[in-house]
Amino acid sequence: MEKGDYTIENVYQGGYSTLDPDKAYLNNFTGYRTSAGSLGLTTDPRTANIIKDASSKLSTGVKQIELALISPAVFDSIPKQQLKEVRELGKVTGVEISVHAPVIDSAGMSQQGFSELNREEAERKITEFLMRSHEINPNGNIPVTFHSAEGIPGSEWKTLGSEGKEREAKRIIAIDKDSGKMVPLEREEKFYPENDLSEPEIHTPEKNLKIINATDWDNKISQLFFNKERADEILEQNRIPIEHLLKKFEEKKKRGEDFMQGLDPIQQKAYMKFMDAENYLKEINKNANAIFSKGYEYGDENQKNKLRELSDKYKEDLGENGGDPFVQSQAMHRLLVNLQNPALAPEMFVPIEKFAVDQSSKTYGNAAFNAYSKFKDVNKTPMMVIENPPAGFGLSTGEDLKNLVVASRNQFIEKAKEKGMGENEARKVAEKLIGATWDVGHINMLRKQGFKEEDIIKETEKIAPYVKHVHLSDNFGLEHTELPMGMGNVPMKEIMKKLGEKGFEGKKIIEAGNWWEHFKIPPVKETLEGLGSPMYSFEGGPYWNQSLGLQQGYFSGYGMMLPSHNYQTFGAGFSQLPAELGGEVKRSGGGFSQRGME
């Protein structure tokens, strides 16, 4: 029965405001309500003794335990028998188990740059994490959380974009797809002599990215022109004797004779010059081949078509006289002139977010498929849920995480199709086994870049259709702190509303490491208060955010029915009893009623 903005079930003795349960003594209520049964707690990430730690966490009453195995060394220190023991512990207690897998770089990055060998190693590790997690729940889709990236710096954004509008950057971290070299690109003001000097020319990070791609390509080819000029100079200065030597060389080659035999000093000098020119041309040819190869490998389809045409023309120019240095020089000159066309410059430098998505999606998509191939059944394969790291690191926004989940699913689909699975079936399996973990505290750290609450909510909206798991921690948006919900400024109510609109039904795991560290008590009660959880299973009031109002009745008595005098009398030993009951206190009148005797 409802009346106004309250329900009759909320009217009870002891509440702070019986007509509005959201107004409580405690001011940490987020405005979002959820049942205690939907909340879980993590184990201590520092210990491999997960049986002991999980058992101690169960005493808080949570119905979900997440094994926080974020250190690879800790994960590797867990005996295989303990994973089976955790499975039995879950069965006995009726508690669901999830896993936070070790945090490793999935893109193949290191201090030396990108390496495909590093990426393949990460893929093997992540596959192993999934395989071992299966031991905990062999008959279900145990959620296993992985960070989208680890240690990769992220671009800094001016705007986060919206539907139909690209985001703008304050700073882009660009990465060379070939070497893994990273370059920060920021907004710059340029003054050029041909421009009006009263107004600088603005180079945005996006514009600088285009410039660095064009400049890098042009510089590589320009260096080859410089070397070729030296070869041409040698050839022109010694043209006649070299041409004569070439004819003589061909004759001696046919007869199998030593070319140097019988050469006079002038011819020997000409031969040495010829060898210098040929060495220059060989080096130019080697570098030109490398540039051409990179252009073809990283170019788009239109660029590849033009490079095929240049290849055909180059072979035509060489003809049957490819060993003639003069023919080589002319053919190479035409090739370099054509390659210098800016339209052929491939996109070698890309934003680190794009590069990381391309590489990490191979890792996650392949690992998920490896697990599915092992266990065969989509309902018995661990579920890979990829988490956003703290805002500011690579792949930390809702848009980045969405792109990674979609790309990982597509990689899974391609692998499955190679093994003969139909595309529609592969897509259904990929969508079930690959999703996102949304850390509400991590995304709140966008505030330190100047973003507002509405921006944080929009990023949630972007990732919402892919979310299967949630991590709960509160902070003030400046540091990676972890407090119980309602103790910082995470817009929990609005975030969960966006997730709820997309049908989120997953578990919500409490991560409150800083609370444990400083206050030394479990964060469950504080979280229940912050989330206004019902105290009883029928989902009605009273709520945990009203708990202080309930407690006041027991400390101050229930009015004249149980006056505070009674607590003084019977709560301090026999010394406070009246004389008629064997105590020392002399009274006139009844000891219980406090009224004079008649």
User: What is the tens place of the pLDDT at every residue in 291-337?
Assistant: 999 999 999 999 999 999 999 999 999 887 666 778 888 899 999 99
- Residue 274: in which H helix or E strand, if any? helix 265-298
Pairing of strands 64-68, 96-100: parallel
Band (587; pLDDT cuts 50, 70, 90): low
Q: What is the pLDDT of residues 325-370, one digit of tens each?
A: 788 888 999 999 999 998 999 999 999 999 999 999 999 999 999 9
> Which pLDDT score is estimated for 2?
46
- The pLDDT of residue 568 is 59
Helix (H, G, I), strand (E, B) or coil at 99: strand
The confidence score (pLDDT) of residue 256 equals 63
Whether the predicted pLDDT of 64 surpasses 60: yes
* Residue with the larger pLDDT of the pair 66 and 7: 66
> Quick one: pLDDT at residue 355?
95
Distance of CA 590 to the CA centre of its chain: 73
| Among 134, 119, 46, CA closest to 380 | 134
Confidence of residue 597 (pLDDT cuts 50, 70, 90): very low
Q: What percent of the chain has pLDDT over 70?
A: 82
Q: Rounded mean pLDDT of the chain?
A: 85
Mean pLDDT of all residues in 590-598: 49
Write the DSSP string, 329-360. Answer: HHHHHHHHHHHT-GGG----EEEHHHHHHHHH
The mean pLDDT of 228-233, rounded to a whole number, is 82
Mean pLDDT confidence for 389-412: 96
**231 or 566: which carries more pLDDT confidence?**
231
Residue 205: cis peptide before it, omega within 30 degrees of 0? no
CATH topology of domain 30-157+350-531: TIM Barrel (3.20.20)
Lowest mean pLDDT among 104-113, 264-273, 434-443, 468-477: 264-273
Residue 48 has pLDDT above 60, yes or no: yes
Kindly report, residue by residue over 478-533, the tens digit of the pLDDT: 999 999 999 999 999 999 999 987 667 678 999 999 998 899 899 999 999 999 89
DSSP H stretches of helix in 376-452: 398-418, 423-433, 440-444
Dihedral sign computed on CA atoms, order 136, 138, 143, 149: positive
H or E segment and range at residue 435? strand 434-439
Report, as an integer, the average pLDDT of 208-212. 93
- 412 vs 362: CA distance, rounded Å: 8
Report which DSSP code applies to 226: H
Q: What is the mean pLDDT of residues 122-141?
A: 96
Contact 167, 125 (CB under 8 A): no
- Strands 113-114 and 109-110, bridge-based pairing: antiparallel
Residue 557 confidence (pLDDT) above 50 = no
Q: Is-contact 371 131, C-beta < 8 A?
A: yes
- Give the C-alpha separation, 83 to 48, whole Å: 11
The residue with greater pLDDT, 583 or 339, is 339
Main-chain dihedrals φ then ψ at residue 324, nearest 5 degrees: -80, 120
Beta bridge partners of 65: 41, 97
How far does the chain reach from its first CA to its final CA, in angstroms? 50
Pick 165 or 459 by higher pLDDT.
459
* Sign, CA torsion 66/69/74/79: positive
**DSSP codes joined into one string, 524-535:** HHHHHHHTT-BS
